Amino acid sequence: EYTPPPLSTDQLEEMNFLITQSITEDQAICVTYAAAGMKQQFWGWVKAIHYETQRIKIVNDEDVLHLSLQQIAAIDLD
């Protein structure tokens, strides 16, 4: 069963930067995350950050993903 590794402070700061950049500059990202015990990937644009629930909403042309920040292993620019 896949579980995301603990992230360093630098990795968390980079992820925060990329999430913010996706929202403010309409930049697509690729998120690697854990779901159903597997490592999965999703690309799209961050459309919302819900600070109180620690979740983000990512959309692309085909789907919408609501993702807990704890599920995220990595974020890259698409």
Question: Is residue 67 one of the residues assigned to a domain?
Answer: yes
How much is the pLDDT for 61? Answer: 96
Model confidence band, residue 1 (pLDDT cutoffs 50, 70, 90): confident
Whether residue 3 lies inside any domain: the answer is no
- The answer to whether residue 1 is domain-embedded is no
Q: For residue 39, is it within any domain? A: yes
Judge contact between 3 and 68, C-beta under 8 A. Answer: no
**Domain extent at residue 33:** 9-77
Give the mean pLDDT of 28-54. Answer: 95
Q: What is the per-residue pLDDT across 54-72, written as a single tens digit (0 to 9) for each?
A: 999 999 999 999 999 999 9
Residue 2 lies in a domain: no
Structurally, the chain folds into a number of domains equal to 1
The band of 30, judged by pLDDT with boundaries at 50, 70 and 90, is: very high
With respect to residue 27, please indicate whether it lies within any of the assigned structural domains: yes
CATH of the domain at 52: 2.30.30.520
Q: Three-state secondary structure along 32-66?
A: EEEECCEEEEEEEEEEEEECCCCEEEEECCCCEEE
| Mean pLDDT for the stretch of residues 18-44 | 95
